Amino acid sequence: MPRTLVLASSSPYRRAILDKLHLNYQVCKPEIDEQARPQETAEQLVKRLATEKAKAVVQRQPQFADAVVIGSDQVALCDNEILGKPHNETNAVAQLQRFVGKTVTFLTGLCVYDAANDSCDVVCVPFYVHFRDDLSDAELRRYVELEQPLNCAGSFKSEGLGISLFKSLQGDDPNTLIGLPSIELLRMLRRLHINPLAGDNSLA
């Protein structure tokens, strides 16, 4: 029998990635406390939250007791400081000004939770965004005005016009930057005999 696959996220970007992978899945929003713990590193944070999100879905929804659940969490860092969402245009421009000529690191925690066996496969996948060193304040203000990246950590959308801000991108999987590392995800799912190339959530 095909396994039930659940995405523990309400993110439209993560859903879009799964849709492109031709996976049959359900969506359930996790309700957890996402605050960092004292002395917790960024890598520890995203791995823990990805795991807690996946497990929270099963705890709240008994029908998923035998499901495979995908949890993911992401932080962006510049100068080893975790970046928040700007929420307004002034903060967005200021955040982008800080990145000129620098590298922003994205760490994405990914957990695939096999609820039937209470086992987790968890990784942290990095991705690096190198910003242009010739960006002007006028360009940054224009970018924020056009794309309104006010709910995005780092104040940009790499899948849109944000690409114009970059000198280069560095990483194994471009989907990592959007919040769901697909190469790692598919590797994890194949371990559980879920393979879109073998049919709809069927045995690999």
Rounded to two decimals, the pTM is 0.89
pLDDT reported for residue 1: 66
| pLDDT tier at 98, thresholds 50, 70, 90 | very high
* Architecture of domain 5-198 in this structure: Alpha-Beta Complex (3.90)
The H-assigned helical ranges of the chain are 12-20, 42-60, 89-99, 137-147, 175-178, 182-191
Which is nearest to 5 in space by CA: 204, 197, 195?
195
Whether the CB-CB separation of 6 and 27 falls below 8 Å is answered with yes
Mean pLDDT of 50-58: 96
Would you say residue 200 has pLDDT above 80?
Answer: no
Contact partners, residue 146, CB within 8 Å, separation at least 6: 161
User: Are 105 and 128 contacting, i.e. CB atoms less than 8 angstroms apart?
Assistant: yes
- For residue 61, the model assigns a pLDDT of 92
Q: Regarding predicted confidence, which is higher, 97 or 159?
A: 97
Q: Which two tokens stand for residue 122?
A: 């968890």
* 115 neighbors 85 (Cβ within 8 angstroms): no
- Any idea what DSSP says for residue 139? H
How many beta carbons lie within 10 A of that of residue 164, not counting itself? 14
Is the pLDDT at 203 greater than 50? The verdict is no
Instruction: Tell me the percentage of the chain whose pLDDT exceeds 90.
Output: 78
In angstroms, the Cα distances linking 75 to 85, 115, 134 are 10, 26, 25
**How do residues 115-171 score in pLDDT, each as one tens digit?**
999 999 999 999 999 999 999 999 999 999 999 999 888 899 888 899 999 999 999
Considering only residues 36 and 97, tell me which one the structure prediction assigns the higher pLDDT.
97
pLDDT given for residue 199 in this prediction: 64
Q: Which amino acids are annotated catalytic?
A: 73
Q: Quick check: 39 pLDDT over 50? A: yes
In sequence order, what are the residues at sequence separation of 6 or more whose Cβ sits closer than 8 angstroms to the Cβ of residue 2? Answer: 24, 200, 201, 202
Q: Are 115 and 64 in contact, with CB atoms under 8 Å apart?
A: yes
* Domain spans, the chain: 5-198
Identify the band that residue 108 occupies on the pLDDT scale cut at 50, 70 and 90.
very high
pLDDT at 204 over 50: no
